[in-house]
Structure 1
Amino acid sequence: MFNTNFPDKMTVEEACIQWQALYKTTQAVEPLLTTFGLQDKIKQLIKSLSGREKQRLAILLALLPNPSSSFLDELTTGLDTKARKMLWKQLFLIKEKGLAIVLTSHYMGEVEALCDRLLILKNGETVVKGTI
């Protein structure tokens, strides 16, 4: 199950401001809030968000500095099917804009939806390597 560790009394807005302060330049927060469906949660305490909203916020914060690549480990573990597919859609759109994503997943549907190339490991050994 996905778990975040934000201060209990921090709002979504405060988290965005804090993360922006860590970088010289960042993307605009408002479009990311809209992309991840959090625009109405800006004044809400993070601890009161649902698990999938916290997951989306964590991804938003990771993308805030506009990275050229992102490593996502078991991104949708613990999310229901609807939330998982919504997140896939958002990541696909971001990937289309040039973000390189390295994704670890046990969900083959997720791999098929998001990945251009894959590497399947079994006991630390490469079993399959190539395109979907």
Structure 2
Amino acid sequence: MSSALSFQSLRKTYGATVAVDDLSLTVEEGEIFGLIGPNGTGKTTAVECALGLRQPDAGTVRVLGMDPQEASSQAFYQRVGTQLQESALPDRITIRETVNLFASFYPSTADSEALLDRWGLADKQHASFASLSGGQKQRLFVVLALVHDPDLVVLDEISTGLDPDARHQVRNRLREVRANGTTVVLVTHFMDEAQALCDRVALMNQGRCVALDAPSALLDELDASYRVWFDAPSDFDLDPLRTADDIQSVELVDGHVQARGGDDLLTAVVHRLADANVSPNDLHAERATLEDVFLTLTDDSQLPTSSSPDLRD
């Protein structure tokens, strides 16, 4: 695959604050790539450097082979689309007027009617910007980012203001965007969103990339990649579970028993409960999440060793 976006030793500071620190990663063409982590970890600063909105202090950035600081604005932004974390429009401008205005900036554009319909705005196209809900405004900015059918689109906190149903619809639309040939860089602190959508993710912490891989591969790196929950009698003895080889840890969480372990965790828990003649209530298993990966990697005592080079920059 060819590179759609690459950072090499990127560094950006604001006075004494280091926003991005020695960031190196590559986004391949045709993937949905997640730049994820809590607010304040340098995600937005990194993509603003990629979009030419900020000048890096050190390192290099290449977007579709172009240096965003040196490429002509016309050549660059004809191939790149963006929905920024914070954007605004005049209150009285309508959706239709906005889309027509943005489309006029480019020599060729996508079908704007189809875009509005796909993103659930066709019936609101004559509504003013001020009358839109937060979720509708977010979807409008996505439409504007896609109106010229870019090769790469950067979406920064796309789910802000969206209800659960709208978030589900957005995920489906983004898969369609990727299927149509556009590389998607998704900047988000919603790790469940990245886990559901992204081909690969970069976990950011304190301006650095602490993990870079497919979500499933990162989950497989955890020793305790599964959890089993159940309710048990108040006098239930946890010690037999703690001594089982396939159970890594057992604790009480909000009155519920939580066991952690690997692939054989559920079998081990069920066998130990049967041996103790205990019939648990609400027994269920779940896979760990990217949030668990992040919490593990940002605990210095749990960081992978040098034998796992893909997990740390």
Taking structure 2 as the reference length, the TM-score comes to: 0.40
The aligned residue for residue 207 of structure 2 is: 124
Match of 1:113 among 196, 203, 206: 196
Deviations 1:66-103 (A, max 9, x none): 00111111211232222211111111111111111111
The aligned residue for residue 67 of structure 1 is: 150
Matched, 1:21 2:21: no
Listed as ranges, the matches of 1:32-111 within 5 Å are: 32-111=115-194
Identity of aligned residues (%): 37
Cα distance in 2 for residues equivalent to 1:11 and 1:112: 35
Deviations 1:30-56 (A, max 9, x none): 100110011111111121111111111
Higher relative contact order (Cα pairs below 8 Å, separated by 6+ residues): 1
The aligned residue for residue 11 of structure 1 is: 94
Q: Look at both structures and tell me which one has the larger radius of gyration over its CA atoms.
A: 2
Higher helix content, 1 or 2: 1
Q: Which letter maps to 2:205?
A: K
Taking structure 1 as the reference length, the TM-score comes to: 0.92
- Alignment partner of 1:91: what SS? helix
Cα distance in 1 for residues equivalent to 2:183 and 2:189: 19
Given that 2:138 and 2:160 are in contact with CA atoms closer than 8 Å, whether structure 1 keeps it comes out as no
- Alignment partner of 1:94: what SS? helix
Cα distance in 2 for residues equivalent to 1:4 and 1:122: 25
Given that 2:138 and 2:161 are in contact with CA atoms closer than 8 Å, whether structure 1 keeps it comes out as no
Q: Which letter maps to 1:58?
A: F
Which consecutive residues of structure 2, in runs of 5 or more, have no partner in the other structure? 1-84, 216-313
| Pairwise CA distance, 1:3 | 4.9
Cα distance in 1 for residues equivalent to 2:101 and 2:165: 30
Query: What do you get for the CA RMSD once the two structures are aligned?
Result: 1.4
Paired residues in the alignment total 131
Cα distance in 2 for residues equivalent to 1:4 and 1:50: 14
Given that 1:69 and 1:99 are in contact with CA atoms closer than 8 Å, whether structure 2 keeps it comes out as yes
Cα distance in 1 for residues equivalent to 2:87 and 2:135: 11
| Pairwise CA distance, 1:112 | 1.6
Given that 2:154 and 2:185 are in contact with CA atoms closer than 8 Å, whether structure 1 keeps it comes out as yes
- Alignment partner of 1:76: what SS? coil
Which consecutive residues of structure 1, in runs of 5 or more, have no partner in the other structure? none
Q: Which letter maps to 1:86?
A: Q
